C-alpha cells in the first residue's frame, strides 16, 4: 500500500463507522474510494440531488441547510453526509456547501452495501447519523430562532458569580458587601450550604424601619431556608414561582451548589412575557368568570409562542404551567366557599398535563387521592369540590373526559389504600383491556393538597411494577398496538373514516406511541420520572435503552410535536378549534420527509420493545 492510501486508511480507522471494520477490510477500502476537492463556497451536494455515494469529509468544513435555508448542521473532518439518498431512495434532504476548502472521500453505493453486509454496525451508524441530523434540523428550525425570552434557561441569565458571606457576619458588614459589589441581595452561607438571603428590602423593612442595631448578626434579619430555582429551569417558570411567593430574588442551584441569583428585574426584561401576565391574571381572579376570561387567552398565547419559534418541549411546559395555574385557582375558589376539607386530600392531574406535555385541544384528566381515614360520610364534600372544579375547567375550554377519567367519577375519588388495591389489580392480575384503560393513571402528578398522599402511592406502585412481568408484557403490547401512520414503502397511512378522514393522527399514532414506549420502559425500570423526555433519560441510566435510541425518540418527539403545534397555530389564526389531525397536503415537503423519518424511528422503538417482552408468545 502506497503512502497516500495508507494515510487514508489511517484516517478512516480513526472515525466511525470505519473504526469497527476488520483490518483486512479496512486495508482494501482506500483504493475503492473516490476523492474530490471543493473550494470554499462551492456546492458539494444540492438539495434534492440524487447521488449514489456516501461522502466522508477528509478535511475542511461543510454546512448543511434545509429547503428554507435554515442551518441544520456543520460537518467537520470525519463526518458523513449524503446518506439520505441511499437510505430513503430519494434526493438529498439538505444542501451541503463547503465553507472552507474541503477534500471529500466518496464511498460508492456497492461498497456501502458490502460494508453493511460484513459489519452490521456500519448500517446502524449510517441510520443513526441520518436520524441525528434530522433531530438537529428540527432543533434549529423550532429552537434557534428565539434564544431570548421564555426559552431562556435560568443559567443563561446569570451575569456574575453569586455574592456570598458567612451567616455569622453582622448586618453592617452584609450591607457593606452588598454596596461594594453593587448587588441588591447577599447569600448567607453555613459552610458550603445556603443558609439564607438578605435583600435591600430586608434592610429597609427589618433594620432601618424598626431601628435595629446594625451590629446584630445578619442571621436575625435574613430569610432563612430561601426558595431556590433550578439552573435548568425556564425563565418563565422562575418568574411564576417568584410571582406566586411574592419574592424578588431567587438563588439558582445546580447539583446542590449555588451558581447565581436571578432577580425579578432580570426576568421582566425578557421578551415574550405574555404567559407570565396571563398566569398573574389567573392567580388574581376572584371569581370563576374571571378565571374563564383569562384562560380563553391561552390559544392565542400558544400561537404567539409557536410563531416566535419556541420549541415543542418549551411550549408544552408553558401550556402545562398555565393550565396548572387555572386548575389551582379553580380549586382555591371552591375551597373558599366549601371551607376546609374533612380529611387530607390531594388533587392529581393525569396524562399529558402530568407529563408537562400539554398542547391545545386536550380534555380533562384528573383524580382525587384521599387519606385512609376518609369514609362514605365525607364523599359528598369531595364530590362537590370535584364538580365545581370540573365545571370551571369545562367553561375555560377543557371539555370533560369522554372516558370519565375525572375526580367527579367516584371510582377515581378514593382513599390511598383503595387506590393501592386498584393499582394492585392492574399489576398483579392484569387483563389486557383493564391495563389499556388504566395506563393514564401511571402518568400522575400532584397539583394541590397533601402531596404526601401521592408520594405514598407512587412509591408503592414503583416498588411493585418492575416485578410484574405479565403486566409489563400487556403494557408493552399496548405500546406497540398503535403503529405510526407509515406504510411499507414509507408512504403515509391516513385515517380511513370518521370526521378526520384522509389525515394523519399526530397524537395517538405519533406522540402517543412515543409516550407509551417510554412509559413501558420506565415502569419496568421502576423510575419515578413522569415526563416522556425525563423517562427516556432515566431508562438509559437504568440500562433499558441505549442513549442513541433515546436521542432518536426525543428527536422524533420534537419533529411530530413541532408539526402538530404549527398545525394548531394555523387553526387558531383561522378561528378554528385546535386538533391533532393534519392533512399531508398542508405540509411542506421538508415536514413530510421529517415526519416519515420520525415515524420510522417510532416503528423501530416499538419493534425493540416488542422483542424485549417477547410479545409473540403472548395471547
Edge-to-edge order in the sheet of strand 229-230: 229-230, 249-254, 257-263
Domain assignment of residue 110, yes or no: yes
pLDDT for position 148: 42
For residues 557 and 471, the answer to whether their CB atoms sit within 8 Å is no
404 vs 150, 353, 413, 516, CA distance in Å?
34, 16, 12, 21
Phi and psi at 588, nearest 5°, equal -70, 165
pLDDT for position 143: 39
d(CA 195, CA 174): 14
Same domain, 319 and 407: yes
Same domain, 517 and 609: yes
pLDDT for position 244: 65
SS3 annotation, 176-228: HHHHHHCCCEEEEEECCEEEEEEEHHHHHHHHHCCCCCCCCEHHHCCEECCCC
Number of DSSP helices (H) and strands (E) in the chain, helices first = 23, 21
pLDDT for position 140: 41
Same domain, 421 and 296: yes
Relative orientation angle of helices 589-613 and 547-573, to the nearest 10 degrees: 140
pLDDT for position 94: 86
The total number of residues shown for the chain amounts to: 619
Neighbours of 88 (CB within 10 A): 16
How many distinct structural domains can be found in the chain?
A: 4
Domain assignment of residue 217, yes or no: yes
Classify each residue of 55-65 as buried b or exposed e, where b means 16 or more C-beta atoms within 10 Å of its C-beta.
Answer: bbbbebbbbbb
The end-to-end CA distance of the chain, in Å, is: 59
Last residue of a domain, one of 143, 174, 197: 143
Three cell numbers, residue 156: 443563561
Element (H, E) at 165: strand 164-166
Neighbours of 482 (CB within 10 A): 16
For residues 157 and 232, the answer to whether their CB atoms sit within 8 Å is no
Nearest of 587, 597, 513, 599 to residue 132 by alpha carbon = 597
Same domain, 132 and 159: no
Predicted TM-score (pTM) of the model is 0.63
Domain assignment of residue 17, yes or no: yes
For residues 263 and 300, the answer to whether their CB atoms sit within 8 Å is no
Last residue of a domain, one of 143, 176, 198: 143
Rg (CA), the chain: 28
Same domain, 401 and 500: no
346 forms beta bridges with 369, 449
d(CA 515, CA 532): 6
Same domain, 401 and 419: yes
Same domain, 197 and 324: no
Q: Is 501 left (phi over 0), alpha (psi -120 to 50) or beta?
A: beta
Q: What is the mean pLDDT of each successive set of 10 residues along the chain, which is 619 residues long?
A: 86 90 92 93 89 91 81 83 69 86 92 86 74 51 42 76 93 93 91 93 91 94 91 79 79 90 73 64 89 89 76 84 92 95 96 91 93 94 97 95 94 96 91 85 95 95 92 91 80 80 90 95 94 94 91 91 89 85 85 88 92 59
Last residue of a domain, one of 143, 171, 188: 143
CATH number at residue 292: 3.30.460.10
pLDDT for position 502: 87
Domain assignment of residue 432, yes or no: no
Three cell numbers, residue 345: 386530600
Same domain, 346 and 489: no
Domain assignment of residue 190, yes or no: yes
Place of cell 458571606: 165
170 forms beta bridges with 217
Three cell numbers, residue 189: 452561607
Domain assignment of residue 264, yes or no: no
Phi and psi at 552, nearest 5°, equal -60, -45
Domain assignment of residue 148, yes or no: no
Segments forming the whole domain that contains residue 521: 468-619
Same domain, 252 and 276: no
Three cell numbers, residue 410: 367516584
Nearest of 187, 185, 146 to residue 167 by alpha carbon = 187
Relative orientation angle of helices 312-338 and 274-284, to the nearest 10 degrees: 10
Element (H, E) at 53: strand 53-59
Domain assignment of residue 201, yes or no: yes
For residues 127 and 603, the answer to whether their CB atoms sit within 8 Å is no
Same domain, 276 and 416: yes
For residues 343 and 373, the answer to whether their CB atoms sit within 8 Å is yes
d(CA 42, CA 60): 12
pLDDT for position 524: 94
Same domain, 612 and 474: yes
pLDDT for position 161: 86
Same domain, 130 and 167: no
Amino acid at each position: 500500500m502506497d503512502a497516500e492510501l495508507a494515510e487514508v486508511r489511517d484516517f478512516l480507522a480513526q472515525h466511525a463507522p470505519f473504526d469497527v471494520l476488520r483490518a483486512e477490510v479496512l486495508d482494501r477500502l482506500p483504493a475503492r474510494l473516490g476523492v474530490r476537492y471543493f473550494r470554499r463556497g462551492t456546492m458539494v451536494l444540492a438539495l434534492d440531488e440524487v447521488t449514489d455515494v456516501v461522502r466522508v469529509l477528509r478535511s475542511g468544513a461543510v454546512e448543511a441547510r434545509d429547503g428554507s435555508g435554515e442551518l441544520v448542521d456543520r460537518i467537520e473532518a470525519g463526518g458523513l453526509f449524503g446518506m439520505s439518498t441511499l437510505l430513503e431512495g430519494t434526493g438529498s434532504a439538505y444542501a451541503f456547501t463547503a465553507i472552507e476548502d474541503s477534500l471529500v472521500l466518496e464511498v460508492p453505493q456497492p461498497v456501502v452495501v458490502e460494508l453493511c453486509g460484513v459489519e452490521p454496525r456500519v448500517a446502524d451508524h449510517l441510520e443513526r447519523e441520518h436520524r441525528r441530523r434530522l433531530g438537529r434540523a428540527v432543533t434549529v428550525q423550532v429552537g434557534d430562532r428565539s434564544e431570548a425570552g421564555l426559552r431562556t434557561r435560568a443559567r443563561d441569565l446569570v451575569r456574575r458569580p453569586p455574592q456570598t458571606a458567612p451567616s455569622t457576619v453582622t448586618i453592617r458588614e452584609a450591607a457593606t458587601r452588598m454596596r461594594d459589589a453593587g448587588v441588591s441581595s447577599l447569600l448567607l452561607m453555613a459552610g458550603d450550604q445556603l443558609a439564607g438571603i438578605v435583600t435591600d428590602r430586608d434592610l429597609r423593612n427589618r433594620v432601618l424601619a424598626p431601628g435595629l442595631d446594625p451590629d446584630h448578626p445578619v442571621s436575625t434579619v435574613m430569610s432563612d431556608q430561601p426558595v431556590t430555582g433550578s439552573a435548568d429551569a425556564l425563565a418563565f417558570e422562575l418568574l411564576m414561582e417568584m410571582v406566586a411567593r411574592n419574592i424578588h430574588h431567587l438563588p439558582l442551584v445546580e447539583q446542590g451548589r449555588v451558581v447565581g441569583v436571578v432577580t425579578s428585574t432580570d426576568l421582566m426584561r425578557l421578551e415574550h412575557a405574555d404567559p407570565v401576565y396571563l398566569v398573574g391574571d389567573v392567580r388574581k381572579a376572584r371569581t370563576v368568570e374571571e378565571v374563564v376570561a383569562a384562560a380563553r387567552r391561552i390559544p392565542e398565547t400558544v400561537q404567539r409562542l409557536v410563531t416566535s419559534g419556541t420549541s415543542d418541549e418549551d411550549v408544552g411546559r408553558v401550556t402545562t404551567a398555565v393550565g396548572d395555574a387555572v386548575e389551582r385557582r379553580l380549586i382555591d375558589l371552591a375551597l373558599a366557599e366549601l371551607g376546609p376539607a374533612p380529611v387530607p386530600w390531594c388533587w392529581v392531574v393525569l396524562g399529558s398535563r402530568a407529563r408537562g406535555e400539554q398542547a391545545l385541544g386536550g380534555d380533562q384528566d384528573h383524580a382525587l387521592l384521599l387519606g385512609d381515614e376518609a369514609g362514605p360520610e365525607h364523599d359528598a364534600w369531595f364530590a362537590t369540590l370535584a364538580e365545581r372544579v370540573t365545571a370551571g375547567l369545562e367553561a375555560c375550554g377543557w371539555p370533560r373526559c369522554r372516558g370519565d377519567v375525572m375526580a367527579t367519577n367516584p371510582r377515581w375519588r378514593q382513599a390511598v389504600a383503595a387506590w393501592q388495591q386498584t393499582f394492585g389489580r392492574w399489576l398483579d392480575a392484569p387483563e389486557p383491556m383493564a391495563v389499556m384503560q388504566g395506563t393514564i393513571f401511571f402518568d400522575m402528578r400532584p397539583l394541590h393538597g397533601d402531596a404526601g398522599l401521592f408520594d405514598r402511592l407512587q412509591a408503592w406502585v414503583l416498588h411493585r411494577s418492575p416485578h410484574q412481568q405479565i403486566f409489563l408484557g400487556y403494557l408493552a403490547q399496548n405500546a406497540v398496538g398503535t403503529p405510526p401512520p407509515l406504510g411499507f414503502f414509507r408512504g403515509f397511512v391516513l385515517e380511513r373514516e370518521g370526521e378526520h378522514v384522509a389525515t394523519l393522527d399526530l397524537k395517538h399514532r405519533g406522540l402517543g406511541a412515543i409516550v407509551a414506549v417510554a412509559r413501558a420502559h420506565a415502569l419496568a425500570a421502576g423510575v419515578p420520572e413522569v415526563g416522556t423526555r425525563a423517562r427516556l433519560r432515566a431508562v438509559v441510566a437504568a440500562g433499558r435503552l441505549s442513549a442513541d435510541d433515546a436521542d432518536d425518540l426525543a428527536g422524533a418527539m420534537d419533529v411530530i410535536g413541532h408539526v402538530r403545534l404549527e398545525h394548531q397555530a394555523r387553526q387558531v389564526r383561522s378561528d378554528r378549534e385546535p386538533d391533532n389531525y393534519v392533512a399531508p397536503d398542508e405540509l411542506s415537503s421538508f415536514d413530510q420527509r421529517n415526519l416519515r423519518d420520525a415515524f420510522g424511528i417510532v416503528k423501530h422503538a416499538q419493534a425493540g420493545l416488542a422483542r424485549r417482552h417477547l410479545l409473540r408468545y403472548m395471547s
